[in-house]
Structure 1
Amino acid sequence: MARFPHRLLGLASAAFAAVSLQGAAAQQEGENLAPYQMLRSLQFVQDTVVTGDHSAGEMQRYLIGAIDKRLRAVDPSVYSDPRNVDAALIYAMSGGNPSTLEYLVSRDVAGNFDNRVADILRKYLSGQGTMVVNTLKAMVPEYRNERIGPYLALVAGNVAVAGTPLEALEFYDWARLAAPGTIVEEAALRRSVSIAVEADLVDRGMGYARKYARRYVHSPYASQFADLFVLLVVRHYGKDVAAADVEGTLAFMDADRRREVYLRMARQAAIAGKNDLTRYASEQATGISGGADDRNAEQLARLYGGMADIPSEKVGDAMKTIADLPMATLSPADQALRAAAQAIADAVVRPPVAQGAGSERLAQDTGATVAPTRDAVIDTASSANDVRGSGSAPGQTAGDSAAKDVSDFQTYVDRGRSTLNAIDDLLKEEGVLQ
């Protein structure tokens, strides 16, 4: 993993130190920062996290707690400054405590808060965003040039995605263009890739993917992006996606990340029966060296590449390659894939056997079975770093995904056996098997 640029890291450290010193001075001298000043620090830290400095996560948690206390403690007259009102709203949309916004609005006797915005966010943060979807859509243009504009557009996209995903893309496009280089753009790009994958918008999806890989490959959410990108490629490789498209996107990643994505791609392609893509991704992963997991990556590439060769004249070599892989170095799910690959390879080369005494009917032996397993627990990024919302496409946990992968491959094995039986029947009808 490439290190965060030293200059930016130095700036971040200096900013964190300044925030800490300001906080200490405030406590000692009784001077307090205005909410909008504290929010700027939170925004800086969140933007730093999604661009690669994960060590800033602790500072983010501290600032969220400090801002929460400050918003509740200040004199209500502070909110006569629109910057502090916006700070409270942005805080609520950036992972803050939803009850704090409710607290402030309920005590707003001066009418500093726009009740329409407050009501929309109240329902959105409580999971009832669809109740105000039309009001929210109409309000986004009104606040387009305001400080809360990009955040409100992101929220509108999150609400619209369930019913009108193409309209959600428009909100995300505006949000990221209005807030480049921020956590807002990161979230909007990632969710745009998700929509493009589900809607089969290949060109737009690849465009969003290239932008994300160029700017946010070190985000805590980059793993989610990688899964979406792999799904997009596996579905459309050889039609609307070529090797050059894949390489053009992954070129922005360091060697370890490129290899990881190629291995994910090879695995999913092997399960989907996309043998050309499996071979290509396996070869690309094998050709990348220099990381700490070279040996393990090579073994995984051999496993997936061997699976691609099972339906070919190289089935013998594939069986040997797969059999030589040490089980101890594979995850439980990959152990199951190895067993499944061996089962179907055995079925391919096994001579037909008679079914029943005196029967002339010949069929492939179907005695082998492969039990699905689950992957070991995989660490994922905490949602605490994300801009609040659930705009990404419905997904699965890492364990559920692994179990589904193995189940899909079991189906592939069963389908292969059925195909072999059908071939036997056809050969018998043609008089080849007597």
Structure 2
Amino acid sequence: MTVNVRPLAALGMILLFAADAFSNDSSRPADAVVEPAVEQEVRLLSVPSPLQMVRTLHLMQDQIATGSTEAHIGQRGLLGVLDTRFMELEPEVWQNGKNIHAAVSFVLSGGNPGLLRKLLELGSSVVTENDRPLVEGALAYVEGREEAAYNALMSLDPRTFPPTMSAQLALVQSALVVRKDPAKSDDLLDFVRLQAPGSLLEEAALRRQVFVASQTGHVEKFQSLATGYLRRFRHSVYAGNFRQRLASASTRIDFGQDKSRFDGFVIMMKELEPEARRDLYLLTARASVEQGFTKSARLLSEEAQKLVEGDLVSASRAKLYRAASMITSPENIKAAAEDLRQIDRSLLPASDVALLDSAMAMAEHIQTMPGTPGVLAEKAKPLLTKAAAEKALDTSNQTQGLEQLQALSKARDALSRVDRLIKNQASVTQ
């Protein structure tokens, strides 16, 4: 369900300026006498609490997960207003533990960390010993002091906090342990998703968990989580970044190892628009060629061919990757070599022209070498990977002739350029 963010922003402004209505209340007689203590108490009651204000912020931020650009823009202004309001609140307001948690939540939601520094400076009358690890750890985390954040926060049990605070704490803890203990990070992200369904916190947890699964080699979970993200948060403001990182992660997977793995990838890809699906198929097919995942490259390029729809550049790229993946097959090498010769190189990017030259040189070399074609093709298969080409190059003057050395050198140089291109694309997504 999409919620219009304008009423949320208006609600936030109403809450934030409720105190001003009390101080400027024209209905009170000018000469009315109000005891200072009573006036102070009424004033505190009329001002929305930090907890209420942070809830308003979270309502707005949750709309970011549904794709509201208004909410994304509006939160900047609301964060600024909240920062000013919080810094102006009297110290006694912060003596309520719920408000301390609201301050931590505010800072973890993008608020000014100066608020937490101020609370710590107010001493134990505001930040109790029980709350100090949470406040100090959150401050260290947003300031980039990872070790201090780890030492302060990892001893805390998220289950002992209210839902939103527990989800935020678990999300931070997952980031702190992901390099040391990916399995624990994954469990914490599961907890976040259960605690804050439909929120920006769930969106962030799911987005991160997809890549934890990818990095730890849990391909089936990677595909399941990615499919879930694309189904539920495809319009999120952060979905574009997710798709770029998804492409980078997908290039490291050999989809030809297992039919169910490839089928799962195809199901996941159906959540994307046809053009985005085609581009991701092409990217992963090229990466598979570069890494020597020949079956994966063939399957992915064939899926891309179904989506080219008259796009000559994409059609040429898909044909190149498919043919390059098949020159190692003795049954298909002649047809693959012919496909390579038919490709219009003027339609290809420079990196693909280099790959075309390399593939054609390999195909020609395999076909002209003396010996059994099947055996030669199988030996040439690892040469599609840069690492194997370099290894073969190191031993070539002992086991190969000058002609094979030249072919391998071309392969290494071409694949190095492809490798750099893929790495450059991956770095853009970070």
Provide the residue aligned with 1:246 in structure 2: 265
Task: Pick the structure with more helix per residue.
Answer: 2
Does residue 278 in structure 1 map to residue 297 in structure 2?
yes
- Tell me how far apart the structure 2 counterparts of residues 241 and 343 of structure 1 sit (CA, whole Å): 32
Does residue 150 in structure 1 map to residue 150 in structure 2?
no
Contact 1:157 1:171 in 2 (8 A): yes
Is the deviation greater in 20-29 or in 197-206? 20-29
Report SS of the residue matched to 2:155.
helix
Q: CA deviation at 1:278?
A: 1.9
Contact 1:226 1:261 in 2 (8 A): no
Q: Structure 1's 127 and 361: CA in aligned 2 closer, same or farther, altered over 3 A?
A: closer
Provide the residue aligned with 1:115 in structure 2: 132
Provide the residue aligned with 2:109 in structure 1: 94
Mapping of 1:264-343 within 5 angstroms? 264-288=283-307, 294=311, 296-311=313-328, 312-327=333-348, 330=349, 335-343=350-358
Provide the residue aligned with 1:215 in structure 2: 232
Report SS of the residue matched to 1:372.
helix
Mapping of 1:18-417 within 5 angstroms? 18-19=11-12, 33-108=48-123, 110-112=125-127, 114-131=131-148, 133=150, 136-141=153-158, 143-219=160-236, 220=238, 221-227=241-247, 229-231=249-251, 234-239=253-258, 241-288=260-307, 294=311, 296-311=313-328, 312-327=333-348, 330=349, 335-349=350-364, 363-364=403-404, 365-366=406-407, 368=410, 369-370=413-414, 372=417, 397-398=427-428
- Tell me how far apart the structure 1 counterparts of residues 296 and 120 of structure 2 sit (CA, whole Å): 55
Which letter does structure 2 place at the counterpart of 1:176? R
TM-score normalized by the length of structure 1: 0.71
The higher radius of gyration belongs to 2
Q: CA deviation at 1:150?
A: 0.7
- Tell me how far apart the structure 1 counterparts of residues 66 and 216 of structure 2 sit (CA, whole Å): 28
- Tell me how far apart the structure 2 counterparts of residues 90 and 248 of structure 1 sit (CA, whole Å): 37
CA RMSD of aligned residues (A): 3.6
Does residue 11 in structure 1 map to residue 26 in structure 2?
no
- Tell me how far apart the structure 1 counterparts of residues 155 and 136 of structure 2 sit (CA, whole Å): 14
- Tell me how far apart the structure 2 counterparts of residues 340 and 169 of structure 1 sit (CA, whole Å): 38
Q: Structure 1's 274 and 13: CA in aligned 2 closer, same or farther, altered over 3 A?
A: farther
Q: CA deviation at 1:137?
A: 3.1
Which letter does structure 1 place at the counterpart of 2:233? Y
Is the deviation greater in 275-284 or in 164-173? 275-284
Q: Could you give the per-residue CA deviations for residues 325-380 of structure 1, whole angstroms, max 9, x where no partner exists?
A: 424xx4xxxx213223323313431567xxxxxxx96623447554738659999x
Q: Could you give the per-residue CA deviations for residues 256-295 of structure 1, whole angstroms, max 9, x where no partner exists?
A: 33333323322222222222222222232332378xx955
Report SS of the residue matched to 1:270.
helix
- Tell me how far apart the structure 2 counterparts of residues 254 and 196 of structure 1 sit (CA, whole Å): 24
Q: Could you give the per-residue CA deviations for residues 8-45 of structure 1, whole angstroms, max 9, x where no partner exists?
A: 1x623443354457668877886865433332232223
- Tell me how far apart the structure 1 counterparts of residues 172 and 428 of structure 2 sit (CA, whole Å): 26
Q: Structure 1's 300 and 112: CA in aligned 2 closer, same or farther, altered over 3 A?
A: same
Q: Structure 1's 41 and 296: CA in aligned 2 closer, same or farther, altered over 3 A?
A: farther
- Tell me how far apart the structure 1 counterparts of residues 172 and 260 of structure 2 sit (CA, whole Å): 31
Is the deviation greater in 165-174 or in 74-83? 74-83
Q: CA deviation at 1:208?
A: 2.4
TM-score normalized by the length of structure 2: 0.71
- Tell me how far apart the structure 1 counterparts of residues 88 and 312 of structure 2 sit (CA, whole Å): 56
Q: Structure 1's 144 and 249: CA in aligned 2 closer, same or farther, altered over 3 A?
A: farther
Is the deviation greater in 365-374 or in 53-62? 365-374
Provide the residue aligned with 1:414 in structure 2: none
Q: CA deviation at 1:144?
A: 4.1
Which letter does structure 1 place at the counterpart of 2:196? A
5+ long unaligned stretches in structure 1: 1-6, 353-359, 380-395, 402-434
Which letter does structure 2 place at the counterpart of 1:11? N
Q: CA deviation at 1:216?
A: 2.2
- Tell me how far apart the structure 1 counterparts of residues 312 and 123 of structure 2 sit (CA, whole Å): 62
Q: CA deviation at 1:178?
A: 0.6
Q: CA deviation at 1:139?
A: 1.1
Report SS of the residue matched to 2:202.
helix
Q: Structure 1's 270 and 87: CA in aligned 2 closer, same or farther, altered over 3 A?
A: same
